[in-house]
Chain A
């Protein structure tokens, strides 16, 4: 990482700079120079396609954390109108790591819930790096139950490095807050569309992650543990995160294969940060499609299908021969 771009982005960024410089210099005069520029642009496109067609899992993790990547509030501003933010869990305080409020997508009212990261240190401290406390999960649930009562679909944007691990978080029941959300979100009476837009780390992400559709942006990740956390446990060395990312199979493409998510949302070539508007437009189209489809179901159907969806996740075998049944509980 070097300031505003990733190491593997550098050749493209360098070429782009060269093209810009030449354009400034040429100002439409020399045909030779214009042809040179066109050649460079072709080279850039080829290079970009080459680099982005074979991204490693770790490179996607890096893109998901890109310093310029659009965050939840960017998406909300770009794909909705008349957003009214609502605050607080009515119990302890307002958790700034998560944003909630009503807005309109193409005139259709929805509730947005989104984990929010900052762009610089000051903002990051304000939003606690998108790491929620129990009051954040309770704020989200309060708003979702409000949406459920007034029949507004819920759109959730996930982008968190994890639920916050701290003394206060434990004192106020981080585990209970997440667990309750898992159960209560299963019971909500309106369509819920989840979209992982950046990082989806563990219970911190899942705590607002129960829905009728679960989508992932092309360069986001979603896993039981962060690559760093996994590396620290496996090899006592968090610098082996790239290796852990491979082992964890945490990309959108992996999760489609594992039947955990419904669809992958494409990003502009080079990643969402190369064109925020286009990224938001694509996401908006996908969300609208789901809202429309899901609005056809009755409340009971919706809830039954939602519960079934998660109930069927997991992979296991049936085996009878390896361990002949012993009667359990009788000590012989």
Chain B
């Protein structure tokens, strides 16, 4: 990478010109130039360094559920502005822009789907919607997904991707951690399996609630996982963070993850786990 820095303003813009928009892309991790069609076929995983590009919630539906079909519930739930929160943008404007950009109504999509014929309650988060942050709508939709598991006695699978609680809804966002975790107590006691799938990134309020509470917790490789953000930690302790800190592999090493699973093996792995966790003859 050194030559890259030295020739500032040199080859970089030229190179950019050579890449027609949308046909090629550069790996965020190793810098490899990859043909987008190839990348798509490889499920957005870099063939050179195995970096897992962030994908949308609808891509996970496609990837994990039979025929890529989710019977969606609670799509009509939308955020309001309980705090009348204003920073550089008014919160309702931020929501509207995210809705227009993503075509989603909030950062989680939930419903019923099947994995290898097994019916599950499924929820998947989307980082594109205000960083996948959890406000009242995300909390409510996750809560209802848990309740669907309870009512129908079907396993729960949640794919998380979130920077944490949504600041713009203040204390109400924090309470979504309590709300989802309290309902998971019921699922836990009912012995209905919950598989938590962590993707890049899953941190803070989401990591410190339902994402950590899976009976089995698995993650895609090299995802950023943790409670506090790396910048906050660095500022607090004013020392360098060790390499690989707060990655999936770090979590696995310290015993907070069952398994690191490559994207192409996710469905197969979840399917097997569901079999192992479902009592015979039920």
Q: Choose among B62, B103, B228 the residue that contacts A170 (Cβ–Cβ < 8 A).
A: B228
B167: CB under 8 A from chain A? yes
A206 close to B78 (CB less than 8 A): no
Q: Which residues of B contact A320 (CB under 8 A)?
A: 76
0 or 1 for each of B70-86: is its CB under 8 Å from A? (1 = yes): 10100111111011011
B86 close to A247 (CB less than 8 A): yes
Q: Choose among A166, A173, A316, A330 the residue that contacts B69 (Cβ–Cβ < 8 A).
A: A330
0 or 1 for each of B163-202: is its CB under 8 Å from A? (1 = yes): 0011101111111111101111110110000000000000
0 or 1 for each of A162-187: is its CB under 8 Å from B? (1 = yes): 01111101111111101110111011
A224 close to B184 (CB less than 8 A): no
Nearest B residue to A173 via CB reads B256
A325: CB under 8 A from chain B? yes
Complex: how many Å from CA A25 to CA B188? 71
B171 close to A260 (CB less than 8 A): yes
Nearest A residue to B87 via CB reads A234
Q: Which residues of A contact B88 (CB under 8 A)?
A: 234
B76 close to A163 (CB less than 8 A): no
B77 close to A186 (CB less than 8 A): no
B232: CB under 8 A from chain A? yes
A103: CB under 8 A from chain B? no
B228 close to A169 (CB less than 8 A): yes
Nearest A residue to B173 via CB reads A224
- Name A268-324 residues within 8 Å CB distance of B: 306-307, 310-320, 322-323
Q: Choose among A179, A206, A248, A322 the residue that contacts B212 (Cβ–Cβ < 8 A).
A: A179
A242: CB under 8 A from chain B? no
With most chain B CB atoms within 10 A of its CB, the pick from A182, A202, A206 is A182
Knowing A163-B227, A313-B179 touch, does A318 contact B78 (C-beta < 8 A)? yes
Q: Which residues of B contact A326 (CB under 8 A)?
A: 103
B207 close to A165 (CB less than 8 A): no
A203: CB under 8 A from chain B? yes
Knowing A180-B212, A182-B209 touch, does A258 contact B171 (C-beta < 8 A)? yes
Q: Choose among A207, A210, A319 the residue that contacts B182 (Cβ–Cβ < 8 A).
A: A210
0 or 1 for each of A101-115: is its CB under 8 Å from B? (1 = yes): 000000000000000
Complex: how many Å from CA A127 to CA B185? 31
A329 close to B213 (CB less than 8 A): no
B69 close to A182 (CB less than 8 A): no
A222: CB under 8 A from chain B? yes
A311 close to B183 (CB less than 8 A): yes
B153: CB under 8 A from chain A? no
B226: CB under 8 A from chain A? yes
A316 close to B140 (CB less than 8 A): yes
B13: CB under 8 A from chain A? no
Complex: how many Å from CA A233 to CA B232? 11
Complex: how many Å from CA A313 to CA B62? 32
Total contacts A-B at CB 8 Å:
228
Which of B29-37, B46-54, B239-247, B269-277 lies at the interface with chain A? B239-247
B267: CB under 8 A from chain A? no
Nearest A residue to B77 via CB reads A316
A175 close to B87 (CB less than 8 A): no
A224 close to B78 (CB less than 8 A): no
Knowing A175-B227, A317-B77 touch, does A166 contact B83 (C-beta < 8 A)? no
Q: Which residues of B contact A174 (CB under 8 A)?
A: 208, 226-228
Complex: how many Å from CA A169 to CA B229? 12
Q: Which residues of B contact A318 (CB under 8 A)?
A: 76-78
A182 close to B177 (CB less than 8 A): yes
Nearest B residue to A176 via CB reads B212
Complex: how many Å from CA A247 to CA B89? 13
Nearest B residue to A178 via CB reads B208
- In whole Å, how far is B52's beta carbon from the nearest beta carbon of chain A? 20
Q: Which residues of B contact A163 (CB under 8 A)?
A: 227-228
6 inter-chain pairs at a CB distance below 8 angstroms, sorted by A residue, are A166-B236, A167-B237, A175-B227, A183-B188, A247-B83, A258-B82
Question: Which B residues are closer than 8 A to A by beta carbons?
Answer: 58, 61-62, 65, 68-70, 72, 75-80, 82-83, 85-88, 99, 103, 105, 109, 111, 135-137, 139-140, 143, 165-167, 169-179, 181-186, 188-189, 203-205, 207-213, 225-229, 232-233, 236-237, 241-242, 245-246, 250, 254-256
Known: A223-B174, A314-B175. 14 other contacts (CB 8 A): A165-B233, A170-B228, A174-B226, A176-B208, A178-B209, A206-B174, A209-B178, A224-B174, A229-B232, A248-B170, A312-B179, A328-B70, A331-B58, A331-B62
